[in-house]
Structure 1
Amino acid sequence: MTDLADREWRLIKDDPRDGATQMSLEEIAAQTALEDDLRTVRVYDWEPSTLSLGYQQEPDTVDWDFCEEHGVDVTRRQTGGGGIYHDSVADISYTIVAPAAEVPGDLMDCYAMFCEPILEAFSRMGVDADFAGAKQEAIYRPSCYLRDIHPAHDVVAPASESETKKISGNAQYRQRDVVIQHGSLSFDLEPETHVGVFAADIEPQTFTDRVTSIREQAGIDREEAVDCLASALGEWCDAEEGEWRDGELEAAADLAERKFGAEGWVCDRALEA
């Protein structure tokens, strides 16, 4: 249990939502943390499937025709790094939101704190996972799972072996004096779609050579994996199970329309008036 457990937290096992709304809810949770002294941990998935671009990622790295043909939405995150293909099958996502004044100011120390429940969740799943022991060079930087692997925030498995593969990526940003960390856990591999959303000609084998999954490492079903992640997050901060308030959902819908679902933001990081 973290030192933050003496604060008020809620655990949200979220409904599947579109990518723009999922990104908007993080900013709304940040506002709630500051204004209502309520912090959030949540587990969620994406419907429809979504490619979330890193903040600085160029739109010409996306195969827009492939995304349209396969019903993949595109949004842009506030965090850097490469694009990630999310869906309700192969990906499990989470968010942690807390006031910046309550967490370590050093980025690496904050990653270490916020990734404690993620590593605990992998342990409960039966996955031998840990932070990468050494940096690995990028294969294709526009893809999160194929860019360089960083020991500070990338998790690999099996950690006890010399040959490891990436199983989770995690990133942080600060919004109105709040730290927001979100991450993707690879439950299963859909290599054709993971590489298909990008404009470059990448072989699916390139993806499977670099990435592993919870299913591959532990053989459990997705529901069990989600439960392990949710329970680890909830126990880490002693959170009460809760849900979004009506006002938060309304605010998120408005923000999704104005920002995370707007072409200007997705393509150029420009906000609607």
Structure 2
Amino acid sequence: MAVDRWLLKQHELGKHPSTLRFYTWSPPAISLGYHQKKYPEYWQNLSYQGDKLDLVRRPSGGRAVLHQGDLTYAVVTSGIAENRLQAYTKICEFLISGWRSLGVELNYGQAGRGYIHNPNCFGTATGADLVLEDGSKLIGSAQLRRGKAILQHGSIILQSNADLFEQVFGENTLEAVELPENLDQETIINALTDAACDSFNMQLAVEPFSDAQWEEILALANEDINCQNVQS
């Protein structure tokens, strides 16, 4: 997620255009919301298929997310309404439109501030989240603002392991998400990318990072690690 922070910083400085990213996690990890202070101590010693689950802190808020079998999206942009919920609504347009093109209807969650007492992001669905018609949560999103620049990223549940989810969050916390068959990750990314181009009236170009940019990103990641060590 240091890449997301770097993109936000560069966009805020006017050095990088708006960006759309998709990525997955290997090995799996748990990401904590920026302000999330309470979480089970045993999370620091979990493993999955022989790999330790990393415990990382997101630059944005919200509750903990288990990144295993999910797809993460990130949008960095500016010129969006200052009202937080209006900004979510504007950015989420491409998610709703893209999934609709795949035959999946999404709606906004209805939960209130009670989510702050639940360490699990997917345990509740607020107005910033998207749920299926049966109420099960498909996408949890969070934001970070720097001036007029916004980073919004979120987790899209695709093939999470129910046993691992239960090990992390306890019983009955993962609702079964039923998606159309033969929906692979590439198809989903292509549909969401096309929807983003339509929703934001833009064209996207794939641009790999240069060696110099990777050095800046890794330096930013090391700053995060040192900061977390000091705080702990």
Quickly name the TM-score band, shorter chain normalised.
0.7 to 0.9
Aligned length: 225
Q: Return the alpha-carbon distance in structure 2 between the equivalents of residues 67 and 175 of structure 1.
A: 35
2:85 maps to which residue? 108
Q: Return the alpha-carbon distance in structure 2 between the equivalents of residues 143 and 25 of structure 1.
A: 24
Q: Return the alpha-carbon distance in structure 2 between the equivalents of residues 266 and 127 of structure 1.
A: 42
- How many Å apart are 1:140 and its aligned residue? 6.7
**Over aligned residues, Cα RMSD in angstroms?**
2.5
On the 8 A contact 2:7/2:16 being kept in 1, the answer is no
Q: Return the alpha-carbon distance in structure 2 between the equivalents of residues 266 and 149 of structure 1.
A: 31
Query: Which residues in structure 2 correspond to 1:189-228 (within 5 Å)?
Result: 189-198=160-169, 202-203=170-171, 206-208=172-174, 211-213=175-177, 216-219=178-181, 220-228=183-191
On the 8 A contact 2:31/2:67 being kept in 1, the answer is yes
1:27-64 Cα distance to aligned partner (Å, 9 max, x none): 21123223325111111111221211111223642522
Query: Which residues in structure 2 correspond to 1:64-143 (within 5 Å)?
Result: 64-67=44-47, 70-87=51-68, 90-99=69-78, 102-132=79-109, 134-135=110-111, 138=115, 141-143=118-120
> Which of 106, 112, 131 does residue 156 from structure 1 map onto?
131
Q: Return the alpha-carbon distance in structure 2 between the equivalents of residues 267 and 167 of structure 1.
A: 35
Q: Return the alpha-carbon distance in structure 1 between the equivalents of residues 151 and 96 of structure 2.
A: 18
Q: Indicate the percent of aligned positions where both proteins have the same amino acid.
A: 23
1:165-214 Cα distance to aligned partner (Å, 9 max, x none): 1111111111254111001111123122223235xxx11xx123xx343x
Q: Return the alpha-carbon distance in structure 2 between the equivalents of residues 171 and 113 of structure 1.
A: 14
Q: Return the alpha-carbon distance in structure 1 between the equivalents of residues 27 and 226 of structure 2.
A: 17
On the 8 A contact 1:44/1:93 being kept in 2, the answer is yes
2:28 maps to which residue? 49
Q: In the alignment, residue 216 of structure 2 is paired with which amino acid? A: A
Bigger relative CO (Cα 8 Å, ≥ 6 apart): 1
Structure 1, unaligned runs of 5 or more: 1-22
Structure 2, unaligned runs of 5 or more: none
1:254 maps to which residue? 219
Task: Give TM-score scaled by structure 1 length.
Answer: 0.74
Q: Return the alpha-carbon distance in structure 2 between the equivalents of residues 176 and 39 of structure 1.
A: 15
Confirm whether residue 167 of structure 1 aligns to residue 138 of structure 2: yes
Query: Which residues in structure 2 correspond to 1:234-253 (within 5 Å)?
Result: 234-237=197-200, 238-246=202-210, 247-253=212-218
Task: Give TM-score scaled by structure 2 length.
Answer: 0.85
Post-superposition, which runs of at least 4 consecutive aligned residues in structure 1 deviate over 4 A? 136-140
Judged with a 3 Å threshold, the aligned counterparts in structure 2 of structure 1 residues 178 and 131 are, in CA distance, closer, same or farther, namely same
Aligned partner of residue 188 in structure 1, secondary structure: coil
> Which of 26, 32, 55 does residue 10 from structure 2 map onto?
32
